Structure 1
Amino acid sequence: MLMTRSARRAAALGAAPALLAAAALTALAAPPAAADPAPRCGISSCDDDDGGSDADSGDGAVTILVWGSGTTGGGEGYEIPGESVTILPPCRYFNTTWSGKEYYEMVQSGEWIGGRDADGNPIPPYEGYEAYKDDTEGRWWSGMCSSADYDGPIDDFFDYSDDWFENEFEPLYVEPGEPVPVPPIPPEVLVQVAYDEMTLPDPQIGWNPRRDGDGATVVNLPTWMWLEDGPVTLEVHAEAGDNQATVEATMSSMNFSAANAAPVSCDGHGVEWSSGASSDCTLTFTRSSAQLPGGVANVLAESQWTIEWFANGAPQGPLDPQTTSANFDLPVAEVQTIVTR
């Protein structure tokens, strides 16, 4: 039965954890089990096909190509090899399990009830259904939209699903051996794939002073901290059909904290020590680490990443920032001096 937009919104805001846009389920008493949401997986670890024909496959999953690149603090570029991930898009086709003959007989007998559209008009049978009235091998594919697979506000989901049903969707008849229908995957869906697949590295830190042997720094002397030659920018692309989304992450700042030193926040990723250089990314220890557990100061290094996204090359604005962190042990030594006159 077709639900109006307001009725679907009311259902979604009530107890329904996964909204199925009911226009997709016309004439179905219940959605098939294969239409239930499934987790994203790497293509190599997905379950093997069960051996059925394409016309009998019904989960509506879509394969997304993901790849990326980045630059390190030293200015070197690197590539992230591509891989495929499989998702259930929010709006997708599903197998009704009706052959052409079964559907034709339901319509002719009056058993098929298409419901009514938003204006109260009866929904007609699938266009061209008579052409398959004797076919027992193919299957009719209809459409569905699930809010469980949409990452965003419920009103945005309704806009997305309404647009899909009005401008993209039409029931399709799939013969055995033919590819199952795949809906266009918009950048708004692809960006979530790219964001989820992006892994930002934990920081690896260099410092100075650094005593030979144990790497110790010294009391009351600014200890420079900087990111060793790790990634400072990263972009991940997700592509399906004619659409692509890109997520760009940039390390914007770093924080350092440790016992016996005032915490510090600094823009960028620090500066490697060199004679004549300057840096605001320093920790100054006021006491040695001799009395601390293990005789070392445990330093927490945090990297803040700002993230932007692009739809087919056009900027779309910021995404939630991310923070990565790492701990490392740093001995802090006292320097004994003797003054003679």
Structure 2
Amino acid sequence: MLRRSAVVLGLSAALVLAQVTAAAAEDPPFGQEETAGPGGSSGPGTGTSGGSSGGSIQVTVSQSGSTSGGRSFSSTTTRTVAPLCWMGRGPTGYEYYEYWKLGGPARESDTLDDYANQGLLHQGWEEHATDTEGHWYESSCSAGAPGDVAVAYHLSHPAIWVGPTDPVPPQDASVDPEVLAQIASESMDLPRGTIRWNPSMTGTGATVVGADTWVWVEDAATTVSVTAQIPSGTWARVDAALSALQVSAPGADSVTCPDTGTPWGGGAASTTCALRFFRSSANQAVKAGQSQPTATLTAQATWTASWVSSEDPNPTALPAQTISATAEIPVAEIQGVVSR
């Protein structure tokens, strides 16, 4: 009597859906803030601030997909990422005024003096000359931000005056969509499938030399879609699919299957994934956890993926990923008996 056998196959790979919210953290007092760092930039005309570090943005990583058995799956987790640019708390009204007023430290530099004379200082800066409690919130960018990104962010994010009782404005951080796509590809966690095969002898689970051995992965993930989004509206989506399954074992020619195979039974007349053993596993070692010689079957899944973003709707291909799993299959050789 024949039956089907099963071995768990972990087909994990990596992708994500990220929905981002700004990390909640109280800004440090002015003068104790971290600077933008070497090569970093603060908004035009800040003078005294130097910008805060920007902290980190919390990324909600969600994914959804389907399996070979038609089951849907989804999950959610969180990650953090450092922004390229952000809005952070800067100097008080008094500190900003003292720095930029005629006779102040900034006016000792011809470049900064020319900047001030062009009317480029914070709008209404003189109105807050004596305010020691409110703060200017200014744009800052990290040292790693591309020049065009930093310039565009500074120009689109003028300084905001925030009084001591006013609500703190959003961080409005900027993150490269490619970074969101990378987070997605590193965070995917797919359902585990189960390797099954047939023929499978009762009691031993052995297949037979010379027979087409059907191989399939039951309830394995086959498609997944992941999106990452930050509060400013920037997002990236990664779409991936299992595109091939290569099956190999000692004593059999390897085969490449277009999918996870066809389950035995249920009226199926043929399969998309089968290999044929030309010798038994009798000459193989008895491996740990086994009671008889077995052939090690290796199933290698290939995933192809691409990503798009709010800034570019054209798909960008990602490198194909391969994930392998093994199963121990006894292979028997049936001897014909002739009686006279």
SS in 2 for 1:256: strand
Q: Given residue 157 of structure 2, which amino acid in structure 1 is its aligned partner?
A: F
CA–CA distance in structure 2, aligned partners of residues 28 and 281 of structure 1: 68
Shift of 1:31: 5.6
2:275 to 283, 292, 307: 283
Partner of 1:90: 84
Describe the SS at the equivalent of 2:95: helix
Alpha-carbon contact 1:202-1:325 (below 8 Å) kept: no
**Distance (Å, rounded) in 2 between the aligned partners of 1:87 and 1:247:** 17
**Other-structure match for 1:305:** 303
Higher helix share: 1
Q: CA deviation at 1:339?
A: 3.1
Residue-by-residue CA offset, 1:56-75 (whole Å, 9 max, x unaligned) = xxx34333333221111012
Task: Identify unmatched segments of 5+ residues in structure 2.
Answer: 1-36, 288-292
Q: Alpha-carbon deviation of 1:336?
A: 2.4
Residue 146 of structure 1 aligns to which amino acid in structure 2? S
1:216 is displaced (CA, Å) by 1.8
Distance apart, 1:279 and its partner CA: 2.9
RMSD, aligned α-carbons:
3.4
Question: Which residue of 1 is the match for residue 150 of structure 2?
Answer: 161
Question: Using the alignment, how far apart are the partners of 1:111 and 1:246 within structure 2?
Answer: 48
1:171 to 148, 155, 159: 159
1:99 maps to 92
The C-alpha deviation readout for 1:196-217, integer Å capped at 9, x for no partner, is: 3323456531111122233222
Check whether the contact 1:204–1:326 (CA below 8 A) recurs between aligned residues: no
| Partner amino acid, structure 1, of 2:105 | E
1:73 counterpart residue number: 68
Which structure's CA Rg is the greater one?
2
1:101-155, CA deviations, whole angstroms, 9 ceiling, x for partnerless residues? 11211112432379969xxx6364333322332222333333333365x7xxxxx
Of 210, 215, 232, the match for 1:220: 210
Out of 82, 101, 123, which is 1:127 matched to? 123
Whether 1:181 and 2:189 are equivalent positions in the alignment is no
User: Which residue of the partner structure matches residue 237 of structure 2?
Assistant: 246
Query: What SS does the corresponding residue of 1:213 show, helix, strand or coil?
Result: coil
Q: What secondary structure, in the 3-state scheme, does the structure 1 residue paired with 2:184 have? A: helix
TM-score norm. by structure 2 comes to 0.71
1:20 and 1:145 in contact (8 A); partners too: no
User: What is the correspondence of 1:242-281 to structure 2 with a 5 Å cutoff?
Assistant: 242-274=233-265, 277-281=269-273
Counterparts of 1:318-329 in structure 2, within 5 Å, are 318-329=317-328
**CA 1:296/1:104 → structure 2, altered by over 3 Å: closer, same or farther?**
same
Contact 1:253 1:266 in 2 (8 A): yes
Change in 2 beyond 3 A, CA 1:232/1:29: same
What letter matches 1:209 in structure 2?
P
Q: TM-score, normalised by structure 1?
A: 0.71
Residues 276, 179 of structure 1: alpha-carbon distance in 2 compared, 3 angstrom cutoff:
closer
- More deviation in 250-259 or 327-336? 327-336
Q: Which has the higher contact order (CA 8 A, sep 6+)?
A: 2
CA distance in 1, matches of 2:39, 2:324: 40
In structure 2, what is the Cα distance between the partners aligned to 1:267 and 1:251? Answer: 9
Unmatched tracts of structure 1, length 5 or more: 1-17, 36-58, 151-156
Distance 1:288 1:162, change over 3 A: farther
- Shift in alpha-carbon separation, 1:160–1:289, aligned structure 2, 3 A: farther
**Contact between 2:41 and 2:143, CA under 8 Å: does it hold in 1?**
no
- 1:231 pairs with one of 198, 221, 239: 221
